[in-house]
Amino acid sequence: MAPLATPGVLSEQARQEVGGALTMLLADVFALYLKTKNFHWHMSGPHFRDYHLLLDDQSQQIIAITDAVAERVRKIGGTTLRSTGHIGKLQRLSDNDADFVTPADMLAELREDNLRLVGFMMATHELCDQHGDVATASLLENWIDEAEQRAWFLFESGRSSF
């Protein structure tokens, strides 16, 4: 590990705990990205275009944070994901390999996954607060807002007409 050691101000315990939490979060982000793309690719029905474009936008937003999460782990002196197998071991969000999922179920499942991701991010934020890691906490605040917005869009898009 010495060649990958990164100097910093956080304690060794903080680096291990925050770095570990961020790595698990990164696995969840990759899982959510792939599920969002899966549903984007397999969308069908009368709202195909709107949902297809919505999920494409959301998948781009999700993948955009992966590098920042991984680099934050490295900045604080940790190591992070190395493979898809590593993702599979750490992810807490479930995959969906079903042959067919209705558009309404796709939107609902992604909404719930984004809300679960918010919960994971909030727990990681609390850990950062305990260790005085304001930089990671600040990043998480923006990512929490983005995930809440995705959940809101998915909720509103999935509403039935009144």
Instruction: Give the model's pLDDT for residue 5.
Output: 73
> Within a domain: residue 4?
no
**Confidence at residue 161, expressed as pLDDT on a 0 to 100 scale:** 54
| pLDDT tens digits in sequence order for the chain, 162 residues long | 557 778 889 999 999 999 999 999 999 999 999 999 999 999 999 999 999 999 999 999 999 999 999 999 999 999 999 999 999 999 999 999 999 999 999 999 999 999 999 999 999 999 999 999 999 999 999 999 999 999 999 999 999 855
Count of the separate structural domains present in the chain: 1
Q: What is the DSSP letter of 161?
A: P
Residue 109 falls inside a structural domain: yes
Determine contact, residues 104/44, Cβ cutoff 8 Å: no
Handedness of CA 26, 29, 35, 37 (dihedral sign): negative
pLDDT of residue 100: 98
Max CA pair span of the chain: 62
Is 44 within a domain?
A: yes
Structural domain containing residue 74: 11-157
Give the Cα separation of 111 and 141 in Å (integer): 19
Does residue 151 fall inside a structural domain?
yes
Residue 85 token pair = 């197998």
Alpha helical stretches, state H, 5-93? 12-41, 48-64, 66-75, 84-90
Query: Which pair of structure tokens corresponds to residue 29?
Result: 């982000």
Q: Is residue 5 part of a domain?
A: no
What does the alpha-carbon distance between residue 19 and residue 11 come to, in Å, rounded to a whole number? Answer: 12
Whether 59 maps to a domain, the answer reads yes
Q: Contact 77/1 with Cβ under 8 angstroms?
A: no
Q: Identify the CATH number of the domain in which residue 128 sits.
A: 1.20.1260.10
* 70, part of any domain: yes
> Which pTM does this prediction carry?
0.95
Reduced to 3 states, what is the DSSP secondary structure of residue 16?
Answer: helix
What letters, b where the CB count within 10 A reaches 16 and e where it falls short, cover 51-85? bbebbeebbebbbebeeebbebbeebbbebbeeee
CA distances from 45 to 40, 142, 161 (A): 12, 33, 16
**Mapped to the 3 state alphabet, what secondary structure does 88-110 carry?**
HHHCCCCCCCCCCCCHHHHHHHH
pLDDT at 65: 98
